[in-house]
């Protein structure tokens, strides 16, 4: 089988080791919610803040015509996401599902939305959604911290509800009563987002993570003679395009651990924030910049960028280092193993 979220192949022997009935397991995989590990154990994905916001928004619109208890919305990988909800009189509530990512502090957070009919589709951010105060992030300075891809997902979900009810359009305000409180447990204030959380997501799904999964990914890396270690969902997308003959493995921030397990033709490919900071963890110290992206955006000739890249090349011990922008542009490439 192919995992529909990260597009990786799931060996049949992994599936055969699972204690879950095969039909149930295959349905969970096809729905994007279950991840199979090499020993047959299962981890559960969840939905991103973007998907949950989209569910709340659609619920609010649908509830203009009556009570709503279950909603389905599109995700950014083409799979439908489904959740039980509460919707009545233009007000919708969706609670972010629990998942097997140990560090996801937004699990169980209530997303709310209010809707009213309008001439077109518009989305507003209310309480608990952060405001961007610095440049270099995907959302513009002074705007709500709702990234472009999740905004597309939210608007598409609202459009489905508008079409279903035969409305002209809908004005929807999304808010999180506990968003500001939860944001204190994130790094948002350090990177330039204040007073709430960010609405994020490039696939619509939260990848599970725990130490056991790290061990299983080590198995996948060790079994591959040509491997790309990447840092996130965007990294997976472009790594697959740039290196179609390689096995692409999500290493996240654990690049060094993944590198220790790798052999053969090794590539480290991903966005600058993780790859360059992996090379030089202190590159932002006393720089005046909150993020690597901000440095690239405002001072692309900053010597710290080249220095961090060179340190990543050295740290890679012969691996090819490729840094890509969010639009797929290759920013830095060591070209070949040194």
Give the residue extent of every domain in the chain: 12-44, 47-205, 210-333
Q: Which two tokens stand for residue 179?
A: 């968003």
For residue 71, what pLDDT is reported? 98
Beta-carbon neighbour count of residue 40 at 10 Å? 15
Dump pLDDT digits (tens) for 144-183. Answer: 999 999 999 999 999 999 999 999 999 999 999 999 999 9
Judge whether residue 198 has pLDDT over 60: yes
What is the spatial order of strands in the sheet that 91-95 belongs to?
68-74, 80-88, 91-95, 110-117, 170-175, 121-125
- Among 93-97, 249-253, 272-276, which stretch is predicted with the lowest mean pLDDT? 249-253
Q: What is the pLDDT of residue 287?
A: 93
Q: What is the pLDDT of residue 161?
A: 98
Portion of the chain with pLDDT greater than 90, in percent: 68
Q: How far is CA 4 from CA 28, 203, 293, in A?
A: 11, 10, 29
Assign 337 a pLDDT band (cuts: 50, 70, 90). very low
Give the single-character DSSP code of 225. S
Q: Is 81's pLDDT higher than 80?
A: yes
Nearest to 33 by CA among 7, 3, 13, 10: 3
Predicted confidence band of residue 336 (pLDDT cuts 50, 70, 90): low
What is the rounded distance in angstroms from the CA atom of residue 135 to the CA atom of residue 288?
A: 13
Range scoring the smallest mean pLDDT among 123-137, 210-224, 313-327: 210-224
6 vs 2, residue with greater confidence:
2
Q: Which structure tokens are listed for 145?
A: 């911290």
Just give the CATH number of 47-205: 3.30.2110.10
The pLDDT, as a whole number, for residue 211 is 58
Cβ atoms of residues 141 and 133 within 8 Å? yes
Q: What is the mean predicted confidence (pLDDT) over 121-137?
A: 94
For 251-276, what is the mean pLDDT? 91
The pLDDT score that the predictor gives to residue 191 is 80
pLDDT of 48 strictly over 90: yes
* Per-residue pLDDT tens digits for 290-317: 899 899 999 999 999 999 999 999 999 9
Q: Which of 315, 333, 316 is nearest to 324 (CA)?
A: 333
Chain mean pLDDT for the chain: 91
Give the relative orientation of helices 148-165 and 49-62 as an angle to the nearest 10 degrees: 20
SS3 assignment, position 283 = coil
| CA distance linking residue 132 with residue 127, whole number of Å | 14
- Residue 82 — very low, low, confident or very high, per pLDDT cuts 50/70/90? very high
3-state secondary structure of 338: coil
Say what the pLDDT of residue 224 is.
82
The CA distance from 164 to 158, in Å, is 10
Do the beta carbons of residue 269 and residue 230 sit within 8 Å? yes
Asked if pLDDT for residue 238 goes beyond 80, the answer is yes
- Please check the confidence at residue 14 and state whether its pLDDT lies above 90: no
Range with the poorest average pLDDT among 31-45, 124-138, 197-211: 197-211
Instruction: Specify the residue for token string 């047959």.
Output: 40
Domain 210-333: which CATH class?
A: alpha beta
For 184, half-sphere exposure in the C-beta direction (CA atoms, 13 angstrom radius) is 3
- 102, pLDDT greater than 80: no
pLDDT band at 338 (very low <50, low <70, confident <90, very high): very low
């Amino acid at each position: 089988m192919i995992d529909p979220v990260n597009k990786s192949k799931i060996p049949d022997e992994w599936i055969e080791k699972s204690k879950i009935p095969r039909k149930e397991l295959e349905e969970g995989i096809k729905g994007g919610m279950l991840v199979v590990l090499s020993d047959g154990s299962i981890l559960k994905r969840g939905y991103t803040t973007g998907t949950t916001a989209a569910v709340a928004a659609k619920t609010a619109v649908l509830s203009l015509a009556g009570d709503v208890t279950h909603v389905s919305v599109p995700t950014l990988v083409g799979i439908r996401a489904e959740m039980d909800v509460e919707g009545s009189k233009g007000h919708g509530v969706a609670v972010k599902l629990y998942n097997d990512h140990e560090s996801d502090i937004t699990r169980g957070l209530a997303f709310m939305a209010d809707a009213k009919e309008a001439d077109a589709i518009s989305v507003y951010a209310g309480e608990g959604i952060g405001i961007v105060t610095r440049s270099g992030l995907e959302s513009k300075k002074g705007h709500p911290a709702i990234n472009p891809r999740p905004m597309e997902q939210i608007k598409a979900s609202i459009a489905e509800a508008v079409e279903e009810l035969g409305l002209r359009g809908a004005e929807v305000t999304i808010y999180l009563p506990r968003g500001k409180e939860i944001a204190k447990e994130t790094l948002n204030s350090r990177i330039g987002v204040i007073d709430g959380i960010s609405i994020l997501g490039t696939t619509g799904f939260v990848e599970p993570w725990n130490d056991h999964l790290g061990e299983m990914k080590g198995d996948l890396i060790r079994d591959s003679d040509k491997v790309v270690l990447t840092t996130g969902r965007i990294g997976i997308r472009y790594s697959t395009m740039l290196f179609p003959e390689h096995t692409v493995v999500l290493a996240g921030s654990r690049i060094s651990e993944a590198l220790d397990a790798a052999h053969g033709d090794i590539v480290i490919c991903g966005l600058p924030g993780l790859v360059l900071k992996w090379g030089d963890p202190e590159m932002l110290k006393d720089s005046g910049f909150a993020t690597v992206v901000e440095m690239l955006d405002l001072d692309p000739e900053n010597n710290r960028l080249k220095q961090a890249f060179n340190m990543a090349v050295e740290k890679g011990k012969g691996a090819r280092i490729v840094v890509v922008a969010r639009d797929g542009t290759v920013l830095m490439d060591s070209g070949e193993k040194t």
